[in-house]
A and B are shown apart, each in its own frame.
Chain A
Amino acid sequence: MAVSSGKDVRETRIVTRRLHDVANSWTYDNARADGAYEMWDEVLRRADPADIHAQVKASGLRGRGGANFPTAVKWESLPDVFPRYLVINGDEGEPSTFKDREIIEKDPHALVEGVCIEAYACKINKAFIYLRGEFALGYDRVVQAVADATANGWVGQNIKGSGFDLDIVVHRGAGAYICGDESALIESLEGKRGMPRIKPPLPIHAGVYAKPTVVNNVETASTITHIMKMGGEEYAKLGVGRSTGTRVAAISGHVKNPGIYEIEFGMTFREIIFDLCGGLRDDRELKFFLPGGASFQWLVNCDEHLDQIYDIDDISAKLGTTLGSGAIMVYDDTTDPLLVAWRLAKFYAHESCGTCTPCREGSGWIEKILYRMSHGLGRPDDMDLLLSASANVSPDVMRAPFTQTTICPLGPSPVSAVASLQKYFRAEVDAACANQPTLIPVSAT
């Protein structure tokens, strides 16, 4: 029986403070009263873009979209080519991830202020905020925030007499998870099908309209304002190792209190699930949890996994999985892992852009096999077939992180669920698939 840590576990609210503490925090007046644009004002007065670089570098900030790339290093790679663009990735679509939506809807001014500061630091005069199409309310709020910021002179031409121009375009997607991939997002922003680009070139060298492009997640951009306020070194004191600061985690599933929690890196999963979130619904037994969104291997109810700390590098070094998009999904002992694996596979099959054969055809096949396995039609050799079919997509099936034969990581993502089934639930799967006849191969030629 998994239990709480017994400690006094609390959030560290930096990025999420305003949206918790200020009523109607999305309005310009309320956000402004809470200090919105003060940092931007100061940055303009200091007129020292290099200082922003220095602070962000000192902060150790790493991208909060899931790839964990150091933000300052990305900036430093910008070639000396103009115009260049800033693109904010607000296409949050990873299953069970909802932390960006919270910021977009409830603290759009923090996002706009972060965009201003980042654009200023990188000498960018045009920024695009790409929002997931389904975020209709979020779109309205960000559009309003940009309009209010423009009306109040924080965005536009010659901002506050600084000579700096910034134009922000809010762009709505239209329903495609893959556009969360930065190069697919750029394609989509260019009015194309959201198919990930072949790298190189990286967006930082040739992104939107083949110009240098900084792509940042919503949370990353919003954090920059706070780093400037706190000072980079102060921010870096939070967290553990190279995982500095806080991460906004979205926790859902069978916990008593699901929602977003801003976590200082270094907390254990036990503390997150059993203390912050109050343990499992109806005090049932934990069966398994997904520590970082839907695309990576699962963890289960054991001390090794529960006492793993929330640390980007430590979890991948020790357990081969990642913190991904910042979502944690928790499942109790009533859950059929096959059903979860099937639903994930269905998601990836539905969201495959169709570019690479292994993903286009493989995700559909994996979904079909998992469907019959999870719906009482599984056959005794289906799990082995599943592993073998998965190897067509991600050759070393059990390896974490997965190996990739596709342009982007969507292809091998469902294989993480397959590997997790094999690793932790093989006996349960075999039992579920014990009664159907074995397949007879059909000749292809």
Chain B
Amino acid sequence: MTAGEATKTTVTVTIDGKTIEAQPGELLIKVAQDHGIYIPRFCWHERMKPVGMCRMCLVEVDGIRGLPPACTMPVNDGMVCRTDTDAVKSAQDGVLELLLINHPLDCPVCDRGGECPLQDTTLAFGPGESRFVEEKRHFEKPIPISDLVLLDRERCIQCARCTRFADEVAGDPLITFVDRGDHTQVLNFPDDPFASYFSGNVVQICPVGALTAKPYRFKARPWDLATVETSCTTCAVQCRGAVQSASNQIVRLLGVDSDAINHGWLCDKGRYGYEHVHSDGRVLTPRVDGDDVSWPNALDTVADILRSARDLHGGATVAMLGGAHGTNEGQYAWARLMKSVVGTDHVDAQLGDGLPAEAVLGLPRAQINDLDRAAAIVLLGPDLKEELPVLFLRAKRAALEHHIPIIDLSAAPHGLSPYVTHRLDVAPGEQGPAAEAFVAALGGAGARSDAIEAAAAAVRDRAGDIVVIVGRPSLAERPEATLQAAAALAGLTNVRFLSALRRANVHGALEAGLAPGFLPGRVTLDSGRARFTEAWGAVPAQRGLDAEGILRACADGKVHVLVLVGTDPLADFPDRVLAQKALDTVGTVIAIDAFETESNRRAKVYLPVTLWGEQSGTVTNLEGRVQRLGRKVSPLGVVLDDWRVAAELALRLGVDFDFELVDEVTDEIARVAPAWSGGSAALVRAARDGVVLPVAEHRDGIVLRRGGLSLGSDDAVSWEPIKPDDEKVPADPETTIDDTDADGVELTAVDPGASGTELHVWDRVVADHLRPPRDNYALRLVVGRTLYDAGRVVEHAPSLATLARPAELRVAAADAQRLGVTNGESVRLTSGRGSITVAVRATRGVQPGCGVLTFAADGRGAAELIDASAAVTDVRVETLR
């Protein structure tokens, strides 16, 4: 709509005598709800298409015969509706009586009891007695429909929330209605379980106790739970959630409906990963040389090591890897400790599997919601379904509901492949030239291929920005190919980038300066030197090494002290041989972690820190969105927050950070980090959807929350979408930003230039990277991660541990035939680096000449084949017969 058009864009409806302005086409049930009129319902869910099944939301509408359901009724101008007449009440009573005739009423032994919408709605709207005297319908009591979810069909009220979620939202139509009439049941296909990465969501949205989660079953009663809002830090999407505990044990994480991020959904790894917090494998006491010691003792030992390395050999003999799993505050404190106090720039939160900070921080950034209005989505990263599951849901939704074209520069099939509109079949490591050809075609140059021309034609006339989802498409190739493609795409005028780096708070780490050449707040050593010299006292003189360089320097004896902050290079670095050599050679390892790993087992000093659920503070997601973590349980043992460990070490090295509370760290970041300028701990706390960095640029998008977490009606926490805002207060579109007061926060105007420091912009310079010619007898590898890998969350969460699958090599059917291998057969793969044995499977969509291998994150398999210095990885395949 162009400005100045005077068309009326809202309609006026009257509900129960209340006059309400609404958007045309909005559903009556939603309009009523947004204005404080609750119409009871079971099947309707605002993130899914209405089906009008339960008939609980029947209302009277003038001019319409009978009682139409409010969930399928779009509002129109002048509509008059009543939700409280005798006829409506009698219909509600009738529907509830019918829903209960076959319901087992086993509430005392049902997990849902106490937070059950059927219970609550019956109490509020239903009959007190049943007149049904016949035998109720019977089904076998709970049957597993997946490893995580159980189904009790007797309790089911056939609302289709779960089946719609599986099909519409997750794209895994593995549970459906079976049979019909009053025999209708939800069921999976025999031997084909509901193995969706998103299965836990159906438990959360089930309006009865039909679907229950194995990890939560019989663990607690709803009235015994305490709840706090938080962000999930399983991956960098950082879905909003509500973490619940009983007796100092986290027992459940529920999705909170953040419009900006997750729409209420969580992946199962995020939802059930909390179990790792209470794992027996936690290290709960500081150790020196393997012996439990006191914190002062351990801290003194580390301080001595760092001091002597710094003073005798120079700060550059100390290096730090990791930190991507910490809070913004921990990352900032560690950046300050290493870069200012120890004096080294050999600091990298990534592990050779991401992209350089120069590119990630310096590209024009997109937000997740930009996907819904993009001119096109370009895929230049890993398999989102495996690495950033809820971002996959959002991209899928953009494709299906908003019909956004998806242009795929991936070399291997992935979760979004079914929704891709333009697949360019790019060979591994060739995405640079492909992107350049696409950009040229967009500019009108003759396209190199029909596919590229078709993709360009699909985008050319569309409004909006092209959103490029950029990450590391394959661990078996160096990042330059991706950077070359990103550089080409960044030359377009209407383009934004959504980073697809996966580790929980890796974007927070980059923003905090846990990368070589950077200081907190998106500035380089050079541009931030003056500012941080003043704030910190000192900054490194020159750019340090990245993870690969650090490991090489360890191996070469140039780095003597390696600090591992929550990271395990032996398991997680793509090049196992290099990691092994580095760890074998380096003089001293200091570990800051929560679990024992292969890498930190050799640490001189081990400092145990808190985990998610035990920490407060803030985190930053892949959009640059800063949100608060909720601290729900007290840690066992004597573990400390990561920021406090850094501050204690700094004090022992003679610098007092003067941090007492985590908010003081946040406020210091906001004070010194240019991208944070205008932010504060109080603002992050008050902002409903968090604060997107740089704060000054996104200030207008900040919505201050008015109330606490909305736990739905009648305390039915996990059924209605949980909102991060108290939606019972009518939203007034004119004043979404309250400039005067919300919890005492003031939003004052910020001049982005006021900090006097230019935020970093990528110069789009990419180093040459020569790709060897293709060898017809070898497969060029594409190595990607899988959701349930052998990483620490999966390993230490009992419910998830069994879901990990062994690595597999996927090849094109033609290659399987050429190699003479059958599905499931073991083959030996040999690269220049090493050789492994793995099962092979012919898979549709894999390009001929490619091998797609999963990265297990246990240091075995793919990592033994990859040479971090090689542009691509080619392997020979031998059968073992």
| Interface residues of A, Cβ cutoff 8 Å to B | 176, 193, 198, 349-358, 360-365, 368, 385, 388-389, 391-393, 395, 403-407, 439, 441-445
| List of A residues within 8 angstroms of B777 by Cβ | none
Q: How far is the CB of B55 from chain A (nearest CB, A)?
A: 5
Given contacts A354-B184, A362-B98, A445-B122, are A403 and B66 in contact (CB under 8 A)?
yes
A84, B54: Cα distance in complex, Å: 32
Q: Give B100-149 interface residues, CB cut-off 8 Å to A.
A: 100-102, 105, 122-123, 126-134
The residue of chain B having its C-beta at the shortest distance from the C-beta of A444 within the complex is B130
- List residues of chain B with CB within 8 A of the CB of A407: 52
| B87→A395 contact, CB < 8 A | yes
B-side contacts of A368, CB under 8 Å:
134
CA distance A443 to B180 in the complex (A): 29
A444 near B133 with CB under 8 A, answer no
Whether A365 and B132, one on each chain, are in contact in the complex, defined by CB atoms closer than 8 angstroms, is yes
Query: A403 to B65, Cβ gap below 8 A?
Result: yes
Whether B97 is near chain A, meaning CB under 8 Å from some CB there, is yes
* Structural contact, A405 and B181, CB atoms closer than 8 A: no
Interface stretch of the complex, out of B88-96, B590-598, B844-852: B88-96
Within the complex, the shortest CB–CB distance from B788 to chain A, in Å, comes to 32
Complex Cα distance A358/B122, Å? 16
Main secondary structure, interface of B, reads: loop
* Besides A403-B65, A406-B55, A445-B128, 14 other A-B contacts (C-beta < 8 A): A193-B180, A352-B182, A354-B177, A354-B184, A357-B98, A357-B99, A361-B99, A365-B134, A368-B134, A405-B95, A407-B52, A441-B129, A444-B122, A444-B128
Complex Cα spacing A284 to B33, Å: 61
Contact with A along B52-80 (1 / 0, CB 8 A): 11111010000001110000100000000
B52 touches A356 (CB 8 A): yes
CA distance A406 to B67 in the complex (A): 9
| Complex Cα gap A360–B185 (Å) | 12
- Given contacts A198-B50, A356-B55, A439-B131, is CB(A361)–CB(B182) below 8 Å? yes
CB-CB under 8 A from A354, the residues of chain B are: 158, 177, 179-184
**Selected contact of A176 from candidates B58, B123, B158, B180, CB within 8 Å:** B180
Q: Name the distance in Å between A403's Cβ and chain B's nearest Cβ.
A: 5
Closest beta carbon of chain B to A402's beta carbon, Å: 9
* Residues on the B chain within 8 Å of A445, using CB: 122-123, 128
Question: For residues 176 through 202 of chain B, which have their beta carbon under 8 Å from a beta carbon of chain A?
Answer: 177, 179-184
- B486 interface hit (Cβ, 8 Å): no
Would you call A357 and B177 a contact (CB within 8 A)? no
Cα A190 to Cα B379 with chains together (Å): 32
Contacts of B134 in A (CB 8 A): 365, 368
Task: Find A360's partner among B90, B129, B133, B184 (CB 8 Å cutoff).
Answer: B184
The CA-CA distance from A391 to B100 in the complex, in Å, is 16
By beta carbon, the residue of chain B nearest A404 is B66
Count residues of chain B with CB under 8 A from any CB of chain A.
Answer: 44
Q: Are A355 and B58 in contact (CB under 8 A)?
A: no
Q: Which residues of the partner chain B approach A198 to less than 8 Å between Cβ atoms?
A: 50-52, 72
Residues on the A chain within 8 Å of B97, using CB: 392
When distances are taken between beta carbons in the complex, the residues of chain A under 8 Å from B53 are 355-357
The residue from A351, A357, A365 contacting B95, defined by CB atoms under 8 A apart:
A357
Q: Which 6 A-B pairs have the closest CB atoms?
A: A392-B94, A354-B184, A361-B98, A352-B181, A364-B182, A444-B130
B564 to chain A, nearest CB (A): 54
B157 close to chain A: CB less than 8 A: yes
Residues of A with C-beta under 8 A to B58 = 405
With CB as the reference atom, state the residue of chain B lying closest to A351.
B181
A388: which B residues are within 8 A, CB to CB? 131
CB distance from B52 to the nearest CB of A (A): 5
Verify A389–B51 contact, CB threshold 8 A.
Answer: no
Hey, what's the 0/1 contact readout for B679-698 against A, CB within 8 Å counting as 1? 00000000000000000000
Show 28 residue pairs from A and B whose CB-CB distance is below 8 angstroms, ordered by the A residue: A349-B182, A350-B181, A354-B180, A354-B184, A356-B52, A357-B53, A357-B158, A358-B98, A360-B182, A360-B184, A361-B99, A363-B181, A363-B182, A364-B181, A385-B131, A391-B90, A391-B94, A392-B94, A392-B98, A393-B94, A395-B87, A405-B58, A406-B55, A441-B131, A442-B130, A442-B133, A444-B128, A444-B129
B183: chain A residues at CB < 8 Å are: 354
B52: which A residues are within 8 A, CB to CB? 198, 355-356, 407
CB contact between B158 and one of A351, A360, A404 (< 8 Å): that residue: A360
User: Residue among A357, A363, A385 with the most chain B CB within 10 A?
Assistant: A357
Determine the distance from Cα of A389 to Cα of B90 in the docked complex, in whole angstroms: 12
Contact A443 B133 (CB under 8 A): no
B181 contacts which chain A residues (CB < 8 A)? 349-354, 360, 363-364
In B140-186, which residues have CB < 8 Å from any A CB? 157-158, 177, 179-184
B81 → A minimal CB distance (Å)? 16
On whether the beta carbons of B133 and A439 are closer than 8 Å, the reply is yes
